[in-house]
């Protein structure tokens, strides 16, 4: 796999421009309401590609519970997900941010109602390095230097997606605080290709969603972990300071520095499959699947207990 340069890095708020271009999109909610119920019919959803492993599992369990309900999922960049929602080609999206004020105004004016949205879980961005790399502990200053291409060690940085993805947006907005990515940052077409590129290039550093490498019981993810190493990031808020991996406990207590939320946004003003799927995601079974995938559920309590092992 050969990574390519990012396209449109200066327009990470792409969805905002898309909303201004999409005019008069007719909603088909009335017709849909007659054709489906919460347990039968189909819905098209667009999902940030970073979360493919966990959302595949959520849909698998949901459809097994409701055999007459079909969730047609399309994995895309975050900007494309928002574009689909605005263009009415997806009734629901799962992304890493809420609607902004401009988008809320657009939907209110165009459709006479605002899509529902809320937090589902917390995710982290993992930094992966080649198995031969000695740089397995990093500070956030190190991460910023790597992204700006100002590090003493020149490395190739690779991220998921050839357009503006949530990982790219997070790197620019939250890590670089609006700064520009260096010329050493390239794009792969998927998170799996990010892993493979880092595995095959000793000076490469990859940024991916933690759900791709956190599940120790998933044979595919265990295979990924044999190819690369996950870097530990310094927790400046810890006393004493410590280097932490993107584990659930460190996400819960915000010890790991690069944590982000996972949100659903649903454009369905009737009782259809979308609302049923949302209920599945926010209640116990859906939340337990998030926990099982080593994300942190946002809608259920999460307890960490100290235990003593007897010899």
Q: What is the torsional sign of CA 285, 123, 95, 185? A: negative
Q: What is the predicted pLDDT for the residue at 303?
A: 59
Q: Which domains does the chain have, with CATH numbers?
A: 9-121+260-297 (3.40.190.10), 124-259 (3.40.190.10)
Q: What is the predicted pLDDT for the residue at 19?
A: 43
d(CA 90, CA 79): 13
d(CA 96, CA 82): 11
As given in the structure block, the two tokens for residue 310 are 């007897």
Q: By C-alpha distance, which of 282, 153, 279 is closest to 205?
A: 153
Task: Judge contact between 195 and 1, C-beta under 8 A.
Answer: no
d(CA 118, CA 93): 11
d(CA 132, CA 203): 9
Task: Judge contact between 272 and 68, C-beta under 8 A.
Answer: no
Mean pLDDT in consecutive groups of 10 residues from the start of the chain, 311 residues: 54 42 46 76 95 95 97 94 94 96 93 93 95 94 94 87 78 93 89 93 93 78 86 91 92 92 95 96 95 89 60 57
pTM: predicted TM-score of the whole model, two decimal places: 0.84
d(CA 267, CA 88): 9
Q: By C-alpha distance, which of 111, 109, 89 is closest to 101?
A: 109
| Contacts by residues 12-15 (CB-CB < 8 Å, ≥ 24 positions apart) | 12/79, 12/164, 12/168, 12/169, 12/172, 12/173, 14/79, 14/82, 14/83, 14/163, 14/164, 15/79, 15/82, 15/83, 15/86, 15/103
Residue 265, C-beta contacts closer than 8 angstroms, at least 6 positions apart: 85, 92, 93, 94, 95, 98, 99, 115, 116, 117
Q: What is the predicted pLDDT for the residue at 61?
A: 98
Q: By C-alpha distance, which of 123, 124, 192, 122 is closest to 158?
A: 192
């Amino acid at each position: 796999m050969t990574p390519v340069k990012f396209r449109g890095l200066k327009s990470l708020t792409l969805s905002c421009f898309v909303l201004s271009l999409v005019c008069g999109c007719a909603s088909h909610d009335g017709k849909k309401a007659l054709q489906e119920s919460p347990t039968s019919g189909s819905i098209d959803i667009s999902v940030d590609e970073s979360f493919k492993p966990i959302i595949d599992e959520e849909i698998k369990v949901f459809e097994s519970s409701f055999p007459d309900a079909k969730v047609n999922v399309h994995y895309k960049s975050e900007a494309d997900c928002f574009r689909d929602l605005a263009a009415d080609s997806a009734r629901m999206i799962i992304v890493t941010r809420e609607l902004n004020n401009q988008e809320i105004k657009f939907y209110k004016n165009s459709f006479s109602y605002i899509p529902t949205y809320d937090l589902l879980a917390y995710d982290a961005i993992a930094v992966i390095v080649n198995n031969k790399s000695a740089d397995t502990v990093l500070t956030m200053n190190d991460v910023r230097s790597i992204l700006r291409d100002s590090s003493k060690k020149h490395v190739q940085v690779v991220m998921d997606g050839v357009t503006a993805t949530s990982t790219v947006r997070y790197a620019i907005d939250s890590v670089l605080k609006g700064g520009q990515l260096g010329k050493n940052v390239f794009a792969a077409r998927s998170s799996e290709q990010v892993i493979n590129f880092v595995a095959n290039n000793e000076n490469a550093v990859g940024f991916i969603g933690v759900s791709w490498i956190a599940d120790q019981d998933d044979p595919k993810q265990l295979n990924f972990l044999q190819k690369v190493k996950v870097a530990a990031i310094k927790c400046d808020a810890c006393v004493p300071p410590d280097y932490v991996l993107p584990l659930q406990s460190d996400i819960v207590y915000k010890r790991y520095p690069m944590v982000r939320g996972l949100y659903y946004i649903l454009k369905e003003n009737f009782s259809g499959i979308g609302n049923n799927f949302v209920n599945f995601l926010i209640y116990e079974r859906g939340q337990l699947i998030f926990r099982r995938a080593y994300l942190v559920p946002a809608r259920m309590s999460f307890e960490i207990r100290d235990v003593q092992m007897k010899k």
